[in-house]
Amino acid sequence: METETLQAAAEIDFSFLALFLRATFTVKLVMLILIAASIWSWAIIITKHMAFRRARADAASFDRKFWSGEPLDELFDQIGPTPSGSAEKVFSSGMLEWRRSHRADGGLIANAQSRIDRSMDVAIAKEGEELNKGLSFLATVASTAPFVGLFGTVWGIMNAFVEIAQQQNTNLAVVAPGIAEALLATGLGLLAAIPAAVFYNKLSVDSDNILASYEAFADEFATILSRQLDS
């Protein structure tokens, strides 16, 4: 009898597709949600990694131009009022406000320095929103996916016990498929949550470092402009 039970259990298909197809509608829905969340998380991770690398490269390129000794007005004319790089946007916002602060007679309007600082702060805030876009989704997946998977597991095990009660049979061939399908939901939940948690932390730190570099540049640029205001 035991040999027949083991043989019957060995003949059961435990592949991912087979487990998914045998699962109940609720467990299938949970699995699909977790798979979709995992795919979307990886799309955000890859997109953000590329965007952050591009932002660092643009900042380094602009930093070389800024400290090359070229006059700021000429550099601003080259970049224009609608630059593409994030560091250039911070610089352009400050330069644009600098030029707007000049009266027709060449003098400066009062409180020019504070307006220039606020203009660059707004530009940095906008870039921060762009850098952090999508990271909240990673945080949500990291915190909720294990519980969603656990819900699928609980539901699957409940249905497995119902099937056992209906068949009045507790041998391995009856128990194993239902338990395996249920545990697959937990596995998918962890598969979605772990990368989301790891990369959320990494990308958050990278975003903070990039924004800190923008703020440091804005402070240096504001110091340069303040010297010209005082001269």
DSSP run (H or E) holding 14 = none
pLDDT in tens, 89-140: 888 888 888 888 766 666 667 777 888 889 999 999 999 999 999 999 999 9
What pLDDT score was predicted for residue 2?
Answer: 46
Please enumerate in sequence order all residues whose Cβ is within 8 A of that of 181, keeping only pairs 6 or more positions apart, or say none: 19, 20, 22, 23, 27, 156, 160
pLDDT in tens, 15-71: 666 677 777 788 889 989 999 999 999 999 999 999 999 999 998 988 888 888 778
User: Above 80 in pLDDT, residue 177?
Assistant: no
Average pLDDT over residues 153-168: 76
User: Above 80 in pLDDT, residue 75?
Assistant: yes
Q: Are 123 and 145 in contact (CB under 8 A)?
A: no
Q: Are 179 and 157 in contact (CB under 8 A)?
A: yes
What pLDDT score was predicted for residue 230?
Answer: 64
Q: Where are the domains of the chain?
A: 26-230
SS3 for 33-101, per residue? HHHHHHHHHHHHHHHHHHHHHHHHHHHHHHHHHHCCCCCHHHHHHHHCCCCCCHHHHHHHHHHHHHHHC
User: Above 50 in pLDDT, residue 5?
Assistant: no
pLDDT in tens, 191-209: 999 999 999 999 999 999 9
What pLDDT score was predicted for residue 214?
Answer: 92
Q: Are 92 and 79 in contact (CB under 8 A)?
A: yes
N-to-C CA span, the chain: 99
What pLDDT score was predicted for residue 171?
Answer: 58
For residues 17 and 13, the model is more confident at 17
Q: Are 90 and 117 in contact (CB under 8 A)?
A: no
What pLDDT score was predicted for residue 41?
Answer: 96
Q: How far is CA 54 from the centre of its chain?
A: 16
DSSP run (H or E) holding 223 = helix 172-230
What pLDDT score was predicted for residue 8?
Answer: 43
What pLDDT score was predicted for residue 106?
Answer: 60
Average pLDDT over residues 82-87: 83
Whole-angstrom distance, CA of residue 214 vs CA of residue 43: 26
What pLDDT score was predicted for residue 157?
Answer: 82
